[in-house]
Structure 1
Amino acid sequence: MDTVKGSFNDPEKIQLFLEEIYKRYPRYIRDQLQIIQRAVKKYQPFIHSALDVCIEQTLWSANDFHDVVNHLARVQGQEITTLSSDIPTIGMTPFITKKRHR
C-alpha cells in the first residue's frame, strides 16, 4: 500500500480510496493494488485526475480507477491530435537551382 500511496500527491485522497477498496475487497487487496500500480506506471500524467473522479463518483475499485485513467488519457490524446490537426500547414515549394552553362 505504501508504494501505491507514494505515487500520489494527496495522501488523504489516496488513503480514502485505498481504505474503501480494502473494505470492499479485503481478500483481493493485493490484486487491486497491482492493478493500480500498473495504471500509475502507464498513465502517470492522469492519475491525480482519475483519483478525483473515482472519489467524486464513488467508484471504489482498482478496475474503475484503471478505466477512468485510461479514458482520461484517450480523451486528452484526442484533444492533442485535434489541436495539432487544426493548425494550418504552409506549403513549401522546393527550391531548385539550375546550373548555368558558360
Structure 2
Amino acid sequence: MTDLSPEDTAAMRSENGGKDFRLFLRQQIADGQARKTQQPTVKPPKPPGFRPGHWPAGTRPPDRRPVRHTAADWQRELDRYRLGHGHDNDPCHCGTC
C-alpha cells in the first residue's frame, strides 16, 4: 500500500464525491487479495510407461508372506529359553566350538 498523507486522503475524498478514493481503496484490497491467494499448482507429468495400480517396471511383488507362528510354537521356544537352551542358530559362548 502506498503511503497517503491526511491531505492526500482528504483531496481524494473531495474529488468526484469520494468515488476516486473508494475505487483506489478497492484496487488496493484486490491487489492484496491477489497476493494472498495461492496460484494453481501444476502436477508433474507421469513417467513414461506408468501404469496406475501396478508394480513398477522391472519389479514384482514379494514371493511369500511372513511365517506365522502358533501359540504352541511360542510356548515351546519360551520353555527352551527358560531351560537355558538357546536357538540352534545362536553362537555358542563356551569358546571350544
Per the normalisation by structure 2, the TM-score is: 0.28
For the pair shown, the structure with the greater C-alpha radius of gyration is: 2
Greater share of residues in helix = 1
Q: Which has the higher contact order (CA 8 A, sep 6+)?
A: 1
